[in-house]
Amino acid sequence: TQLLEQSPQFLSIQEGENLTVYCNSSSVFSSLQWYRQEPGEGPVLLVTVVTGGEVKKLKRLTFQFGDARKDSSLHITAAQPGDTGLYLCAGADGSWGKFQFGAGTQVVVTP
Amino acid sequence: NAGVTQTPKFQVLKTGQSMTLQCAQDMNHEYMSWYRQDPGMGLRLIHYSVGAGITDQGEVPNGYNVSRSTTEDFPLRLLSAAPSQTSVYFCASSYSGTGTSYEQYFGPGTRLTVT
């Protein structure tokens, strides 16, 4: 059973457009992480959010943690082909850092 | 620093064979984990370790064994391979970041096919 639901599953946009990826759960998480994974490689950590309502920015990427710590979003402004990849969210249950992963959103940005 | 290394990168096994997937990290991280990634399923936790000599089961542990004799190494053993174990396997290590956050670092993965 997948505790974290990501939407959409697939997103194809043109360079310069904006996009938002969502990560939703009925569970409360002590922290939530976003990763990007490229073909043939392991996921790479982008950001960790720990406080309800927290907003973090990483260049053109904006991450938000919901007030109730059950959901999160990733917004990319003016997407570039280098943003292409599988975006994964992962929630920690508060123990040592045992994570539940969402199924991922495949983002394709075409020039 | 090499980070997290995994060997082999690719492996083909016949049903019933056994093998060990190797994982090593040189960052002195306390925590290490094994995940499998299947299409449309995200990453699922197989086993994890919170320190040398301590391991525990994750979400999908059946058919796999682990041990952690040193901080650096965390091998995953497939006891009797089955086609359902065809997957991409990732090893990760992590440390306690700020407060309750844990920063995970992943290896490049092992692509396993069981025929």
**Residues B33-82 pLDDT 10s:** 999 999 888 899 999 999 999 999 999 999 999 999 999 999 999 999 99
Is pLDDT at A78 greater than 90 in this prediction?
yes
Average pLDDT for A17-34: 93
Which residue in chain B is spatially nearest to A49 when comparing CA positions? B101
Q: Does A42 contact B109 at a Cβ distance shorter than 8 Å? A: yes
A43: pLDDT strictly greater than 90: yes
**Residue B43 with chain A: CB contacts under 8 Å:** 43, 88, 90, 101
Q: What does the pLDDT read at residue B45? A: 93
With contact defined as beta carbons under 8 Å apart, do B107 and B5 qualify? yes
Number of other CB atoms surrounding residue B49 within 10 Å? 21
Contact between residue A104 and residue A6 where contact means Cβ atoms under 8 Å apart: yes
Q: What residue of B is the nearest CA neighbor of A30? A: B100
Task: Write the pLDDT tens digit of every residue in B25-41.
Answer: 999 999 999 999 998 88
Inform me whether the C-beta atom of residue B40 falls under 8 Å from chain A C-beta atoms: yes
Asked if the Cβ–Cβ distance from A42 to B40 is below 8 Å, we say: no
> Residue A22 pLDDT more than 80?
yes
Nearest to A45 among B58, B103, B108 (CB): B103
- Paired with A10 in beta bridges are A106
CB contact under 8 A, B42 and A48: no
Q: How far is CA B62 from CA A1, B40, B59, B76, in A?
A: 16, 20, 9, 12
**What three-state secondary structure class fits B115?**
coil
Q: Do B44 and A88 touch (CB under 8 A)?
A: no
pLDDT in tens, A81-94: 999 999 999 998 76
Q: Which residues of A touch B4 (CB under 8 A)?
A: 42
Closest CA to B28 of B60, B51, B55, B59: B51
Q: What's the rounded mean pLDDT across residues A5-22?
A: 96
Listed residue (A2, A108, A46, A109) closest to B42, CA to CA: A2
Query: What DSSP string describes A18-71?
Result: -EEEEEE-SS--SEEEEEEE-TTS--EEEEEE-STT-EEEETTEEEEE-TTSSE
CB contact B99 to A (< 8 Å): yes
Contact check, Cβ <8 Å, B101/A48: yes
Of residues B46 and A99, more confidence is placed in B46
Nearest C-alpha in A relative to B60: A1
In the predicted model, is pLDDT for residue A1 greater than 50? no
Please state, for a pLDDT cut of 90, what percent of chain A lies above it: 77
Q: Name the percent of chain A lying above pLDDT 70.
A: 95
| Six token digits for residue B42 | 């995200």
Is pLDDT of B85 > 90?
yes
Report chain B residues whose CB lies below 8 A from the CB of A40.
108-109
Mean pLDDT, range A39-51, rounded to an integer: 92
If you average pLDDT over residues A10-39, what whole number do you get? 94
- Closest partner residue to A42 (CB to CB) among B50, B90, B102 is B90
Q: What's the rounded Cα separation, in Å, for the pair B49 and B56?
A: 6
